[in-house]
A and B are shown apart, each in its own frame.
Chain A
């Protein structure tokens, strides 16, 4: 069974700083996707960034980038120039992509607080 672990329950940084959120996962699959989702107090789960396991290049979306280490089964999220609006729960999620099994498996989340 796949598992996703987020070892940082809470992190806090000053506005404009860079912060890295950690995520590790366990799977024997070779074809899968990894995601970072943001859940602000409004509760709406918003996709931040996704990474296909077959791609070696790390995904980037504006201020958000990942460090994907497939052999180490590590998938960290870096937020550059952090903003107050980045304050939220961040969830790492895994989806294997074969045999019609497309359920998302989630970590427990990291609460990120951006201080002014």
Chain B
């Protein structure tokens, strides 16, 4: 039974570029949440997807957008990258909006 998977593992981008991160939820899960974890800090909630809709959003600008597909996998898109977007991006899946969240290994994004 595969857990939560994320791709890619690492990514290096230049300021102003756009990036897409991908997440496949744990088998049987239908909800995906995304978090940004800056170095040395706790994660910050970006948004949560359920039934292919964004259900909740944290305090992040519109440059951060997402999508959930019919197979429950999800993408996180970040436009016009800033140096401050450098972080570990964590995806978590759950069964339902309030279910226990299982995390993937994260994608390390470096913006130069």
Give A3-17 as 1s and 0s: 1 = Cβ < 8 Å from B's Cβ atoms.
Answer: 010000000000000
Please name 5 further chain A to chain B contacts, defined as beta carbons within 8 Å, in addition to the given A95-B98, A109-B40, sorted by A numbering: A42-B105, A44-B104, A45-B90, A46-B103, A108-B42
Closest to B59 in A: A1
Q: Which 7 A-B pairs have the closest CB atoms?
A: A106-B42, A45-B103, A103-B45, A102-B98, A102-B97, A43-B106, A44-B105
CA distance A50 to B104 in the complex (A): 19
Closest to A91 in B: B42
For residue B55, CB closer than 8 A to chain A, the reply is: yes
Give residues in A with beta carbon < 8 Å to B: 4, 37, 42-47, 50, 91, 93, 95, 97, 100-109
- Asked whether, in the complex, the Cβ of A106 is within 8 Å of the Cβ of B100, the reply is no
Contacts across chains A and B counted by CB atoms under 8 Å = 55
Closest to A43 in B: B106
Closest to B98 in A: A102
Residues of B within 8 A of A109 (CB): 40-42
What are 24 A-B contacts defined by CB distance under 8 Å?
A: A43-B88, A43-B106, A43-B108, A44-B104, A44-B106, A45-B92, A45-B106, A46-B103, A50-B100, A93-B42, A97-B98, A101-B56, A102-B48, A102-B56, A102-B97, A103-B33, A103-B45, A104-B35, A104-B43, A104-B101, A106-B42, A106-B44, A108-B41, A109-B42
- Tell me the smallest distance from the CB of B32 to a CB of chain A, in Å: 12
For residue B58, CB closer than 8 A to chain A, the reply is: yes
A-facing residues in B28-42 (Cβ within 8 Å): 33, 35, 40-42
